[in-house]
Structure 1
């Protein structure tokens, strides 16, 4: 069973971690601020690549952002590429950096 958990430290740094049968196989590294979420990196273990797990992490992060009225700073190349590829889908959460 696939499970995604938001795990943060006391400074609100951490990430959305993806577990498969109790083993961590992916992560989306983030930090939270009052009105925004900064995404730094998305990574999936090599044995689990190509199964759509990065997309699951992206969907969970966007859902969390919408539920908490947060804007997303997409420093992660994967997230930035998805936001650019589908701007209408993510327009409400994407905080574009100049």
Structure 2
């Protein structure tokens, strides 16, 4: 079973890292400011595709944003696509840019 851990440096840059039996198999890179979580990239190892891991990373990030009252800037193409396809699901956290 995969495990997701938010790992940040001293500047609050880092990632939601996805581990399977201790081996990193995916990540969602982010930076966090007091009211804002910016998502830059989501990636899962090629040989792990089709297992729903990107969605697990998305769900984990969304829960974190909601729990910490953060808006999300979706610069990552995957996250932006999910927010665009399901705007009602993410309306409370999505910071839409003009």
TM-score range, shorter chain: over 0.9
* 1:22 corresponds to: 22
Aligned equivalent of 2:75? 75
1:2 & 1:44 partners in 2: Cα distance? 12
CA drift of 1:81 comes to: 0.2
The alignment covers a number of residue pairs equal to 98
| Gaps in structure 2 of 5+ consecutive residues | none
Relative to the length of structure 2, the TM-score reads 0.99
Runs (4+) off by over 4 Å: none
In the other structure, the counterpart of 1:37 is 37
- Give the TM-score normalised by the residue count of structure 1: 0.99
> What's the offset of the Cα at 1:2?
1.0
Q: Which residue of 1 aligns with 2:60?
A: 60
How well do the aligned residues superpose, as a CA RMSD in angstroms? 0.4
Aligned to 2:13: 13
* Distance across 2 between alignment mates of 1:93 and 1:59: 12
